[in-house]
Structure 1
Amino acid sequence: MATQAVKAVDANWWRGAVIYQIYPRSFQDTTGDGIGDIKGITARLPHVASLGVDAIWLSPFFTSPMADMGYDVSDYCNVDPMFGALADFDEMMAEAERLGLKVIIDQVISHTSDRHPWFVESRSSRTNPKADWYVWADPKPDGTAPTNWLSIFGGPGWEWDGVRKQYYMHNFLIAQPDLNFHNPDVQNAMLDTVRFWLDRGVHGFRLDTVNYYFHDKQLRNNPPMVYDTDGAGMETDTNPYSMQNHLYDKTQPENIDFLKRLRALLDSYQGRATVGEVGDGPRSLSTLALYTTGNDKLHMCYTFDFLGPAFDAAYIRKVMTTVADTVSNGWVCWAFSNHDVIRHVTRFAESPAEQDRVAKLSITLLSVLRGSICLYQGEELGLTEAELSFEDLRDPYGIRFWPAFKGRDGCRTPMAWETSEPHAGFTTGSKTWLPVPGEHAARAVDAQEALPDSVLHHYRAALAFRKAHPPLVDGDMTFLDTNQDLLAFVREKGGEKLLFIFNLTRGAQDFTLPKRLGEILPVNLPGFLSRLDKGVVKLDALDVFCARV
């Protein structure tokens, strides 16, 4: 096995880092089969580096039957032939290092594929060496499932197996059985898979469903949930999963000790980091605090709080202040889009005419928040959610809940590179795994490179501004009192103070600056029209004001 040395890096590089998520199926195809691959990622890394990001995050590329697009892993230590080979991964790592990019990979360890050799052995009998590697339980006397737990993908969270004459637990698809983390051998095996990629040189891991590792050993039923959907992400009222209070099928206290073991492993290497995905409903921020506080568990987490429909000053301030009150020395990673949710330009824009404006304002806001940030491929082009027909869908979640919910394929369509090329330059083949919308092709990278005021150029400017001002990376954040239509705060570190006032409404707004702020020196943010007039900030619709204080 090839083992790569990682150059000496700042152990805290992740704190305030900008991470660019790549969905390998949809980034660049080099074989003509209509599916992206690792060689394609390598070829397009210069574009990613040109944005000014610090790291890339690769969604799963491991060997998999692809029942859930790679989130059903059958071999944690290899590349699926669909995406290439381990040698291709090593070449990509070398190119990323040349460009100054760190590499984070998705680690999906709460469950495996039902084709994984571990599960094949586990289901073969109740006495084999891996019999207790998954969550098995006897039926109730009437033959029904052991608990009322539900699957996120619809239906019960248990599936009957006729060989063992038991049920096995699955939080997601039936083809994704949950591992039994109460078994130390399972923990050790998963840590070995992490070590494999650490030895190969990766700089960190995005941990899928990080609060789903353990289940309640007593198999107690979940109570009903009174659920507030404000700011909810993928889970909606179309899915009965949100009707339960998930006290017993996830977020168990035993998870803490495993996260400490994982952190100890990463700390034995240099400059490595973890970012956990926390999906815990209204408890998400408190779970995030628990998992990141203390410098002995996860380095940072993100939640679904900014992945829903809310884009107003009151909501953003509420989330940020809750984090400040809840998370002491932990760290948050913010995102407006990813591979699981409707693209944020579609969620936030009220009309096609304001899509570019919303895209520019969103990245400006994201780049000045306290925390690290994740960008999702294509958002730098202002891509909208693709409208797909049922026949085009590949996402099992979308297929299950159609037409009430159209699934996640609309944000997973191929990247648009060249406007005039077939399939926008994504492939030379005749067909793509998901269609490339014409409106995406019109927004391709080459078209936006030629336009000085494009969304693409604005992303570069916003990220360059973030890097140029240390307070924006990890400085303090203090909110100012305003009416609920404006979001105003000061970022401060090392004697530098920057004031930001965001108008997220569709009407002009005025803000009278508090005299206690002292002298105000406006800072030009390209693309915005706000101005200072005798102590009053004048903001247009969807506008932002910035000044040195």
Structure 2
Amino acid sequence: MNKSPNYTERKWWQDGIIYQIYPLTFADGNGDGIGDLQGITQKLDYLNDGNPDSKTSLGIDAIWLSPINKSPMADNGYDVSDYYDISAKFGTLKDFENLLVEAHKRGLKIILDLVVNHTSNQHSWFLESSSSKTNSKSDWYHWQDPNPDGSVPNNWLSYFGGSAWTFNEARQQYYYHTFNKNQPDINWQNLEARAEVFQIIRYWLDKGVDGFRLDASSVYSKDKYYRFNPMKFDAKDRNKYDNQHHLYNKNLPENHQIIKEIRSIIDEYEDRVLIGETFIDSSLYDSNSFYGVNNDELHLPFAFQFAMSPWYPGYLQRVIEEKELTIPNNARPTYFLDNHDLPRHLSRWIECSLCTNPLGIAQAAAAILLTVKGTPFLYYGQEIGMVDNEDIPEDKIKDRVVVKSDTEETPPTRDGARTPMQWDDSVHAGFSFGKDVEPWLPVNQDYKEVNVASELAQEESILNFYRRLIKVRKNSKALRQGNWYTLINYPYEHLAYIRESKDEKILMIINFSYEKEFVIDRDLETHDWRVLVSNVLEDNLIINLPQTLQPFEVSILRKE
């Protein structure tokens, strides 16, 4: 478990903090109610103004932008119709180039979402491919003849519900889509299509982007014989995606070769990063496999076990320990709590039986995320304690890609976790810089209290707690690079673990519930400890270890 950290040739993505922005709802710069690149540019100083002692900046190191390419927005940007252009909703290519310049001035990196498992069905590639069986791009997508009775070619299902096959009249064939029917999958076995994607990657790298997050990067490759997926032993609903073993349309060996080829392009450029979504139901082992045998695939593969854990210390500790035990040598773990596809963590966790203190939970979650061994990802708004908006009227819903099932009146939507960033207590939370313009999605009703401006002014706010944590992390080699090891065995209502480098030892104490006795290793008790960050102790105090933990106590202590 105590692997030696690699202190040589550290990269920014190993030590830095990456902040995901959903552009449609982050900041509206032109006053049309839709988030855009101008708005993001105008808010860069909030993210990082380049001053390590800033009183208003969050202090993150890189921005990951959800898709900004030209798109008909059937899946809110995850259906690209032109990889070389920017959606008019977000601005122009010149706006993006200006964002790059201004971000780099502040030391901020820019990471783009690269959606190349599939395109929009309005992309010129698909329009040509679907026009006939003999055109130059006829094999750029997955086409199959109907069965003799006209039915779909096999039992593959869409992640969004229903069959993964849609019939095309012009070709009299079915095409395959992992997700919505408006998102046909690219055939990566076609070398011309593959070369075109590689050209797109180089185009954006040449513009100066600092890396990519690969969307759905574990489903690029499909079985060339299109064999049926076997059903799980206890499956009762044969039409449910999770009831299949996805042996033939997910995580095939060829998938790793594709990512290796993408990585080789990334490595041609200095100091760039390759991040990947290894799909939401992959195991920790599967996610780790995407580092590559020789660390030659993804720099940072996403694993979802931590984000989808229940709010229970033993479970979270087990996930962290599993990562420590299974991650390849010299590889970097990733950790996140929220993203654009999941309900926000405070909405998931404040309903559990132990969760009677939302602020305490937010502080504890932030502390774990920013002190475990790995690269942390923040999702816009989590730093101010945003929760899901569960009261979006039916006529305001934007996320409509999930297929309605026989048992649901209304398909699920992810819009609740994508509502506008809450900047202040003015109209619509200042999303359009104070203008009375209705935003793309309704603002959460709690914006009068939960917003950046009011929390910056409150010393004990969750935003200022994040800012304190980030500053301590930046100044601690142990927290950025050191080993991790636990001090207790679950099940307990608290976590205690050490981060240790050659010259520094940091103790993390997090209590999940009521007052608890704190029994710790006697060797640790013999030392003085300096309080770096705490929600119950004064910063910079020199203390002995506490005998009792306060309810929802979060304390970060450094051995003196």
**TM beyond 0.5:** yes
Q: List aligned pairs for 1:413-428, cutoff 5 A.
A: 413-419=419-425, 421-427=426-432, 428=435
Equivalent-residue separation in structure 2 for 1:335 and 1:161 (angstroms): 40
Q: Which residue of 2 aligns with 1:342?
A: 343
- Give me the TM-score of the superposition, normalised by structure 2: 0.90
Q: Which residue of 2 aligns with 1:38?
A: 37
CA separation of 1:89/1:238 partners in 2, compared to 1, >3 Å: closer, same or farther? farther
What is the letter of the counterpart of residue 378 of structure 1?
G
1:524 aligns with 2:531: yes
- Give me the TM-score of the superposition, normalised by structure 1: 0.91
Cα contact 1:11–1:270 (8 A) shared by 2 = no
Equivalent-residue separation in structure 1 for 2:395 and 2:410 (angstroms): 16
Equivalent-residue separation in structure 1 for 2:442 and 2:543 (angstroms): 49
1:134 aligns with 2:137: no
Equivalent-residue separation in structure 2 for 1:213 and 1:97 (angstroms): 32
Equivalent-residue separation in structure 2 for 1:153 and 1:68 (angstroms): 11
Q: Which residue of 1 aligns with 2:286?
A: 287
CA separation of 1:399/1:164 partners in 2, compared to 1, >3 Å: closer, same or farther? closer
CA separation of 1:327/1:217 partners in 2, compared to 1, >3 Å: closer, same or farther? same
Q: List aligned pairs for 1:233-244, cutoff 5 A.
A: 240-244=240-244
What is the letter of the counterpart of residue 274 of structure 2?
T
Comparing 473-482 with 407-416, which one deviates more in the overlay?
A: 473-482
Q: List aligned pairs for 1:84-483, cutoff 5 A.
A: 84-225=91-232, 240-279=240-279, 281=281, 283-293=282-292, 294-308=294-308, 310-329=310-329, 330-350=331-351, 354-387=357-390, 388-397=392-401, 400=404, 406-419=412-425, 421-427=426-432, 428-483=435-490
Q: Which residue of 2 aligns with 1:21?
A: 20
- Partner deviation per Cα, 1:265-299 (whole Å, 9 max, x = no partner): 11111000011111252x43112211114221111
Cα contact 1:11–1:271 (8 A) shared by 2 = no
Q: Which residue of 2 aligns with 1:67?
A: 74
What is the letter of the counterpart of residue 225 of structure 1?
K
Q: Which residue of 1 aligns with 2:53?
A: none
Structure 2 unaligned regions, length at least 5: 1-8, 49-56
Q: Report the 3-state secondary structure (helix = DSSP H, G, I; strand = E; otherwise coil) of the residue aligned with 1:15.
A: helix
Q: Report the 3-state secondary structure (helix = DSSP H, G, I; strand = E; otherwise coil) of the residue aligned with 2:518.
A: strand
CA separation of 1:314/1:94 partners in 2, compared to 1, >3 Å: closer, same or farther? same
CA separation of 1:487/1:527 partners in 2, compared to 1, >3 Å: closer, same or farther? closer
1:498 aligns with 2:506: yes
Equivalent-residue separation in structure 2 for 1:239 and 1:386 (angstroms): 30
* Aligned residues with identical type, % of pairs: 38
Comparing 407-416 with 238-247, which one deviates more in the overlay?
A: 238-247
What is the letter of the counterpart of residue 396 of structure 2?
D
Shift of 1:391: 2.5
Q: Report the 3-state secondary structure (helix = DSSP H, G, I; strand = E; otherwise coil) of the residue aligned with 2:43.
A: helix
Equivalent-residue separation in structure 1 for 2:401 and 2:309 (angstroms): 19
Q: Which residue of 2 aligns with 1:76?
A: 83
What is the letter of the counterpart of residue 394 of structure 2?
F
Shift of 1:240: 1.8
Cα contact 2:525–2:544 (8 A) shared by 1 = no
Q: Report the 3-state secondary structure (helix = DSSP H, G, I; strand = E; otherwise coil) of the residue aligned with 1:494.
A: coil
Equivalent-residue separation in structure 1 for 2:125 and 2:366 (angstroms): 43
What is the letter of the counterpart of residue 253 of structure 1?
P
CA separation of 1:381/1:482 partners in 2, compared to 1, >3 Å: closer, same or farther? same
- Partner deviation per Cα, 1:465-500 (whole Å, 9 max, x = no partner): 111111111211112233412322211112211122
Cα contact 1:33–1:429 (8 A) shared by 2 = no
What is the letter of the counterpart of residue 163 of structure 2?
P
Cα contact 2:528–2:543 (8 A) shared by 1 = no
Shift of 1:536: 5.5
CA separation of 1:416/1:131 partners in 2, compared to 1, >3 Å: closer, same or farther? same
Comparing 268-277 with 310-319, which one deviates more in the overlay?
A: 310-319
- Partner deviation per Cα, 1:304-351 (whole Å, 9 max, x = no partner): 212325121111122112212221132222100111111111111238
Cα contact 2:167–2:175 (8 A) shared by 1 = yes
Cα contact 1:398–1:408 (8 A) shared by 2 = no
Equivalent-residue separation in structure 2 for 1:48 and 1:350 (angstroms): 30
What is the letter of the counterpart of residue 262 of structure 1?
I
CA separation of 1:472/1:527 partners in 2, compared to 1, >3 Å: closer, same or farther? closer
Shift of 1:16: 3.0
Cα contact 1:520–1:548 (8 A) shared by 2 = no
Cα contact 1:309–1:348 (8 A) shared by 2 = no
- Partner deviation per Cα, 1:185-240 (whole Å, 9 max, x = no partner): 12111111111110110001111111011111121111223699xxxxxxxx9992
Comparing 467-476 with 392-401, which one deviates more in the overlay?
A: 392-401
CA separation of 1:488/1:226 partners in 2, compared to 1, >3 Å: closer, same or farther? farther
Equivalent-residue separation in structure 1 for 2:22 and 2:496 (angstroms): 34
Equivalent-residue separation in structure 2 for 1:501 and 1:32 (angstroms): 45
What is the letter of the counterpart of residue 349 of structure 1?
I
- Partner deviation per Cα, 1:376-425 (whole Å, 9 max, x = no partner): 11111101111123222110146746667642100111111121x21111
Q: List aligned pairs for 1:4-19, cutoff 5 A.
A: 12-19=11-18
Q: Which residue of 2 aligns with 1:4?
A: none
Query: How many residues were matched structurally?
Result: 529
Equivalent-residue separation in structure 2 for 1:534 and 1:48 (angstroms): 36
What is the letter of the counterpart of residue 343 of structure 2?
I
Structure 1 unaligned regions, length at least 5: 1-9, 229-236
CA separation of 1:514/1:196 partners in 2, compared to 1, >3 Å: closer, same or farther? same
What is the letter of the counterpart of residue 484 of structure 1?
P
